[in-house]
Amino acid sequence: MSVTAMKSDRPASTHPLSPLEVVEVAVPEDERVWVPQAPNVSFRPLFFNTLNGQWCNLLRVRKSGVLSRHLHPAPVHGFVIKGSWRYLEHDWVATEGSYVFEPPGETHTLVVDEDCEEMITFFNITGCMYYVDEQGNNTGFEDVFTKIDMCRKHYAACGLGADYVDRFIR
Ligand SMILES: [Fe+2]
């Protein structure tokens, strides 16, 4: 169903300029929905906000996976759905059911330890992931648009179709 068709079917109480809802089974049954990001690291897109540079996704890291050191210029909110993980830069562990707030400027390296087969965490991110090396030098970045591009490329290659990502974009 096209977005235009769906909009015309909306209840009169919803303003015509309002974007459509996103409703997804968060943890997908189809493995292809997960987008590979790094060895043992993948993400499942849920929402891409192209107007304020925000996105929501599930991050899945399997045993011994590492999400490269990065900082966020804006706040990040996380909720651990499964497993546990920690940052090399902190002494706490985020366990299943934990909520995590990361303040602007926070630099960290996410790791999943040997005793955890798999962790899945919902993240709400705004701005970008600014990747840095040990000296703090920039090594790359990801933002809402590079994430969309990654999804489009993966979905085209895996058979879901490049436009599968469109359902998440507002
Ligand atoms: Fe982060």
Give the class (CATH, top level) of 29-168: mainly beta
Minimum mean pLDDT range among 4-8, 84-88, 125-129? 4-8
Q: Tell me, in angstroms, the distance from the centre of ligand 1 to residue 144's CA.
A: 14
* 3 confidence band (pLDDT: 50, 70, 90): very low
Taking the whole predicted model, whether its pTM rises above 0.85 is answered as yes
For 126-162, the pLDDT digits (tens) are 999 999 999 999 999 999 999 999 999 999 999 999 9
**Ligand 1 centroid from CA 76, angstroms:** 7
- Taking CB atoms within 8 Å and a gap of at least 24, the contacts of 84-92 are 84/112, 84/113, 84/116, 84/119, 85/61, 85/110, 85/111, 85/112, 85/113, 85/116, 85/119, 85/121, 86/110, 86/111, 86/113, 87/111
CA 18 to ligand 1 centroid distance, Å: 30
Q: Distance between CA 75 and CA 34 in Å, rounded?
A: 24
Q: How far apart are CA 150 and CA 45, in angstroms?
A: 10
Domain ranges of the chain: 29-168
Taking the centre of ligand 1 as the mean of its atom positions, its distance from the CA of residue 30, in whole angstroms, is 26
- pLDDT tens digits, one per residue of 100-129: 999 999 999 999 999 999 999 999 999 999
Measured in Å, residue 129 CA sits from the centre of ligand 1 at 7
- Cβ–Cβ under 8 Å, residues 131 and 117: no
Rg (CA), the chain: 17
Mean pLDDT of 74-89: 97
Compute the distance from residue 80 Cα to the ligand 1 centre, in Å: 13
